[in-house]
């Protein structure tokens, strides 16, 4: 008789999830609150492990696992799991990214309601023995305008609820197409600044990236109408807290609701605590019985399928190809992810379609892994938690068509990957890459048909400039004066008197340096691309 596969449930999940594992004929060991040493002992013969955020699956813990096939995270974040170590050990790491969508959407709308009618403040007054009906005058959502920043799963659910209250819904999402916005019944706002003055309510549902950090800062608050109400149940740092304090003091912001903060736990001495018209919750986005149950059941299903049948879903670190194919395409995975990141950053207009073409021996292989890497790279700065499994659905949600072509045509390289983006206004951008040298290192070799050679490691400064003597020296002097090291550079002539100049830098250039370069009469366009 075969021995049952052991599943270690290290953190509490829904009892229904535990029961599902047992019904699948698995040996379930519930070990909540175990010390790291106890976890190392328990994991030794486990084939699957389930955690939430409490238990840390470190490289030290993984080194003790002799049979481990899969780690499942009941939730989205996998910061408590050493993914590189798990990958090196051949352990798949999976998460449950959709379980908290409704919970977070409902919490956000609860904050919106509390910012409209001062329920929390009135409750506190009653508890103090008062009966004050004049102070707590509220407002109505009916016919007000809600501005949603970020129209992913949660933003879309917020829109549905706002429409039920007959609110006008504006949406800002640089990666959402007009067709998708129309299907959601929202008005797509191309520039953030255009929507801010129109909004009675603003709620943010974007990942925290360099582009979204302090998206709502002093300048943004200046553009808002007096009496606006602002909410954040997404990521701390999208709203600049110091700017929010000043906007509350001036009366620009009538009410606010926060579930996330620039630093957590929320600082006890934060001046935001002084405002009675701000409602706080301690990062409760996923904290509902239903969300926890959904995550518990889903992670149990994922682990059971991975351990018993080798079926992988919601993988953070695992491809769904056989070992032979993996060995053949592996050198190109990093290349495709970098090409995806590059095409997203150089495409100025909203992308409607991505097309990837494979040349040479790549055209004869199963390129599913490469397609996923490209899509994941494209989404890197667009949304949270894009991985090899959910990238296609996230791309589809944004209304972006994806096409892959295996080409038999000849190319300048024995193996080549070409990526094209087609934008709403008809603009087509393209990038191409291959791998080079004994180490098979990824290299970008073309941008819009122009020959370049970029290692795509850190930050790249792309310039379209007049092709004349002294240009390289001028740019190098500006960068050098600010202590920016040029790791590599390429110049490719465009037509008779223009050139595409590429400067690979060891670090991201400051906005001041970029502005100084932009002011040069001989420079037409400047773009900074980050690969790290």
CATH number of 301's domain: 3.40.50.720
- 360 and 410, same structural domain? yes
Structure tokens at 512: 């001041």
Higher pLDDT, 411 or 113: 113
Q: Does any domain span residue 298?
A: yes
Q: Does any domain span residue 285?
A: no
- 513 and 373, same structural domain? no
pLDDT value for 2: 61
Give dist(CA 518, CA 516) in Å, integer: 5
Q: Say which CATH number the domain at 368 has.
A: 3.30.1330.90
Lowest mean pLDDT among 47-56, 84-93, 340-349, 419-428: 84-93
Count of C-beta atoms within a 10 Å radius of residue 423: 16
The answer to whether the Cα torsion of 400, 406, 408, 411 is positive or negative is positive
Q: Give whole-number Cα distances, 245 to 222, 235, 256, 524, in Å.
A: 13, 18, 10, 40
Phi-psi region of 185 (alpha: psi -120 to 50; beta: other; left: phi over 0): left
Give dist(CA 384, CA 150) in Å, integer: 11
**Cβ proximity of 297 and 113 under 8 Å:** no
Q: Does any domain span residue 1?
A: no
Q: Does any domain span residue 314?
A: no
Range of 528's domain?
A: 458-532
- 155 and 13, same structural domain? no
- 230 and 213, same structural domain? yes
**Number of domains composing the chain:** 4
pLDDT value for 251: 97
Q: Does any domain span residue 331?
A: yes
Q: Is residue 148 predicted with pLDDT exceeding 90? A: yes
**Cβ proximity of 236 and 262 under 8 Å:** yes
- 463 and 380, same structural domain? no
Q: Say which CATH number the domain at 527 has.
A: 3.30.70.260
Find residue 406's DSSP bridge partners. Answer: 358
147 three-class SS = strand
Residue 325 — φ and ψ, nearest 5°? -65, -40
- 108 and 41, same structural domain? no
Q: Give the mean pLDDT of the chain.
A: 92
Determine the average pLDDT of the residues in 77-96: 86
Determine the average pLDDT of the residues in 126-146: 95
Peptide bond into 265 cis (omega under 30): yes
Structure tokens at 335: 């290349």
Q: Does any domain span residue 64?
A: yes
Confidence band for 79, pLDDT divided at 50, 70 and 90: confident
**Cβ proximity of 276 and 251 under 8 Å:** no
Lowest mean pLDDT among 1-10, 175-184, 332-341, 460-469: 1-10
The answer to whether the Cα torsion of 255, 261, 264, 267 is positive or negative is negative
- 57 and 37, same structural domain? yes
Helices (H), 57-208: 59-62, 83-88, 101-116, 119-127, 153-164, 178-184, 192-195
478 three-class SS = helix
Q: Does any domain span residue 150?
A: yes
Helices (H), 284-405: 289-309, 323-346, 368-379, 391-397
Contacts of 293 by beta carbon, 8 Å cutoff, 6+ apart: 14, 16, 17
pLDDT tens string 295-330: 999 999 999 999 998 778 888 886 656 667 778 888
Structure tokens at 355: 């097309």
Calculated CA dihedral for residues 13, 152, 332, 307, nearest 10 degrees: 20
pLDDT value for 15: 95
235, 429, 443, 508: which one is catalytic? Answer: 235
Placement of tokens 């053949």 in the chain: 328
Instruction: Quote the radius of gyration of the chain (alpha carbons, Å).
Output: 26
Domain boundary among 403, 426, 456: 456
Give dist(CA 145, CA 268) in Å, integer: 33
117, 283, 313, 397: which one is catalytic? Answer: 283
pLDDT tens string 358-403: 999 999 988 888 998 999 999 998 887 676 667 887 898 899 999 9
- 208 and 107, same structural domain? yes
Task: Please classify residue 62 by burial: count the beta carbons closer than 10 Å to its beta carbon, then call 0-12 exposed, 13-18 middle and 19+ buried.
Answer: buried
Determine the average pLDDT of the residues in 418-442: 91
201-204, strands of its sheet edge to edge? 187-188, 168-172, 145-149, 201-204, 228-232, 253-258, 278-280
Count of C-beta atoms within a 10 Å radius of residue 439: 8
Q: 235 catalytic, yes or no?
A: yes
Q: 133 catalytic, yes or no?
A: no
Confidence band for 76, pLDDT divided at 50, 70 and 90: confident
Give dist(CA 304, CA 313) in Å, integer: 11
13 three-class SS = coil
486-494, strands of its sheet edge to edge? 486-494, 498-505, 459-466, 523-530
Q: Is residue 404 predicted with pLDDT exceeding 90? A: yes
14 three-class SS = coil
- 91 and 109, same structural domain? no
The whole model's pTM is what?
0.73
Q: Does any domain span residue 42?
A: yes
- 212 and 85, same structural domain? no
Higher pLDDT, 269 or 439: 269
Structure tokens at 35: 């010390």
pLDDT value for 16: 96
pLDDT value for 170: 98
Domain boundary among 261, 280, 299: 280
Q: 205 catalytic, yes or no?
A: no
- 267 and 120, same structural domain? yes
**Cβ proximity of 528 and 509 under 8 Å:** yes
Count of C-beta atoms within a 10 Å radius of residue 496: 6
pLDDT tens string 57-75: 999 999 999 999 999 999 8
Domain boundary among 403, 436, 456: 456
pLDDT tens string 163-207: 999 999 999 998 898 999 999 999 999 999 999 999 999 999 998
- Of 240, 237, 289, 277, whose CA–CA distance to 260 is shortest? 237
Instruction: Specify the DSSP element, H or E, that contains 487.
Output: strand 486-494
How long, in residues, is the chain? 532
Confidence band for 1, pLDDT divided at 50, 70 and 90: very low
Structure tokens at 462: 């792309």
37, 178, 193, 264: which one is catalytic? Answer: 264
- 451 and 438, same structural domain? yes
């Amino acid at each position: 008789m075969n021995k049952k596969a052991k599943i270690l449930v290290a953190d509490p999940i829904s009892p229904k999830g535990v029961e599902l594992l047992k019904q699948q004929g698995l040996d379930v060991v519930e070990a909540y609150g175990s010390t790291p040493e106890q976890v190392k002992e328990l994991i030794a013969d486990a084939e699957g492990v389930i955690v939430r955020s409490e238990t840390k699956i470190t490289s030290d813990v993984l080194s003790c696992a002799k049979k481990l096939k899969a780690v499942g995270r009941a939730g989205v974040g996998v910061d408590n799991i050493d993914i590189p170590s798990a990958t090196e050990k051949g352990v798949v790491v999976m998460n449950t990214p959709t379980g908290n969508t409704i919970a977070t959407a409902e919490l956000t709308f609860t904050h919106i309601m509390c910012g409209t009618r001062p329920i929390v403040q009135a409750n506190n007054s009653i508890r103090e023995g008062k009966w004050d009906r004049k102070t707590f005058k509220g407002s109505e959502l009916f016919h007000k305008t809600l501005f949603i920043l970020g129209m992913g799963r949660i933003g879309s659910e917020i829109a549905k609820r706002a429409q039920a209250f007959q609110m006008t819904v504006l949406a800002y999402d640089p990666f959402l197409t007009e067709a998708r916005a129309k299907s959601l019944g929202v008005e797509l706002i191309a520039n953030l600044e255009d929507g801010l003055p129109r909004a009675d309510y603003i709620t943010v549902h974007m990942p925290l990236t360099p582009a979204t950090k302090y998206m709502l800062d002093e300048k943004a608050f200046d553009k808002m109408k007096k009496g606006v109400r602002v909410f954040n149940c997404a990521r701390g740092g999208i709203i600049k807290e110091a700017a929010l304090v000043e906007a509350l003091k001036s009366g620009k912001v009538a009410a606010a609701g926060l579930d996330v903060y620039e630093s957590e736990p929320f600082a006890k001495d934060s001046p935001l605590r002084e405002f009675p018209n701000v409602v706080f919750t301690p990062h409760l986005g996923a904290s509902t019985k239903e969300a926890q149950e959904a995550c518990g059941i889903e992670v149990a299903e994922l682990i059971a399928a991975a351990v018993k049948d080798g079926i992988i879903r919601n993988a953070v670190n695992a491809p769904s190809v056989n070992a032979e194919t993996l060995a053949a395409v592996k050198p190109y995975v990093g290349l495709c992810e970098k090409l995806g990141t590059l095409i997203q950053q150089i495409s100025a207009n909203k992308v409607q379609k991505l097309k990837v073409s494979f040349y040479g021996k790549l055209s004869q292989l199963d390129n599913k892994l490469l397609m996923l890497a490209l899509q994941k790279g494209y989404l890197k700065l667009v949304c949270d938690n894009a991985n090899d499994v959910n990238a296609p659905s996230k791309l589809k949600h944004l209304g972006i068509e994806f096409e892959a072509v295996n080409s038999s045509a000849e190319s300048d390289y024995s193996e080549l990957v070409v990526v094209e983006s087609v934008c709403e206004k008809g603009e087509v951008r393209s990038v191409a890459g291959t791998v080079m040298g004994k180490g098979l290192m990824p290299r970008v070799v073309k941008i819009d048909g122009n020959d370049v050679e970029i290692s795509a490691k850190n930050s790249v400064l792309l310039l379209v400039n007049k092709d004349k003597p002294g240009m390289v020296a001028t740019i190098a002097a500006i960068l050098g004066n600010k202590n920016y090291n040029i790791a590599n550079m390429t110049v490719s002539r465009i037509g008779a008197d223009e050139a595409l100049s590429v400067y690979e830098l060891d670090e991201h250039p400051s906005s001041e340096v970029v502005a100084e370069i932009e002011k040069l009469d001989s420079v037409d366009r400047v773009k900074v691309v980050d690969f790290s």
